[in-house]
Structure 1
Amino acid sequence: MKISFLSPAYNSEEWILTLLESIPKEYAYEIIVCDDGSTDNTLALLEDYQKNCPALKIITHPTNLGASVAYNRCIAEATGDYVAIIDSDDHYLPAIRNVLGQVDGQFDIYYYNMLTKEGYAFIKDESNRYTLPGQFKIIRRSFIGDATFTIRKDIAGDWDFNCALMDKNPTSKYTNELAYWYNFPRENSEYDLHRRGLK
């Protein structure tokens, strides 16, 4: 299976290299990062990393258009069989290899679990498929269809994206692997800005 790793990035110089290094390159058909008008060194770091990582494709927005626009741009540019979306301030844990090794084309979505920086585990199973919408999954690209990250004042765009996917009743596999390190809580993250009514 060809897997496209997708990440929108905005002023992510503190985290972007950790993210890129956490992606198992043997599984990376392509890595697409959308620099969403960063004003720090994010783009320069990406361009330098690209010199030794031919799988990395960099998309740039001249101005900051917001995370949802950048997510959707990454998905539109992807050409793999499956997409793995990861936020630029997060990274994969070593167990992601166990998840990727199970992506065999039989299911629309392959789920894994997330560990916060404070040590709390978010466990994804059938009971919360409409909740905890974040980056818990590897998705068959052709299954995404018209599902998009939306721009709303009340909630982050991944909520509508996840709901649109769930409404299609995907076939799913829950790997139960703790495979994602979630930089939560973090001041000025997408979640934090929405929580404080600043987005």
Structure 2
Amino acid sequence: MGKAKPRYCEVCGAPIRGSGHRIRIEGAEVLVCNRCYEKYGGKKPGTFSIMPTGRQPTRRTYSRPARPRPAPKPRTERPLYTEEIVEDYAEKVYRAIQRSGKSYEELSHEIGLSMNDLRAIAHGHREPTIKEAKKLERYFKIKLIETSGEEVLEKRSIPKDYEPTLGDIANIKIKKRKKK
């Protein structure tokens, strides 16, 4: 007999070790991992509900005085093209640094990136953000961003056998029942 297919939590998507737990959420019976069971299993039925808010739940670890938020800028229409970092970005940045004849320290001050960021990008340990790439492009006069019009490139590939979990689609909110 073949190995049993691993089962995944229907809320967070984590592989379930052991038999998992069946709990009721909004009248539906779902299979959950130990962590989600601890989070939602001990609640009385109907004390939490799934709200598709599309926001990540906020995790508060410590409280700090609220900072006044700057007024939101009016949103401008997004252009119909995507900006992507070129594949050989590391090589281009590294060569430009060599050509400049300056130390990482000097360059970090002049470009406005930390030495660690600069080194990580030049050695290909991480891709620069669009903002960082623009600073590097301006400074070294090299091309690091390619724009492709109209076609929106798919950013993340999803494996064929992927099944979305409840947690992917909805955010679970725990509602306190109002005492009447």
**Shorter-chain TM-score category?**
under 0.3
Q: TM-score, normalising length from structure 1?
A: 0.19
The structure having more radius of gyration, on CA atoms, is 2
The structure whose residues are more often strand, as a share, is 1
Question: Larger RCO: Structure 1 or Structure 2 (Cα < 8 Å, ≥ 6 residues apart)?
Answer: 2
Q: TM-score, normalising length from structure 2?
A: 0.21
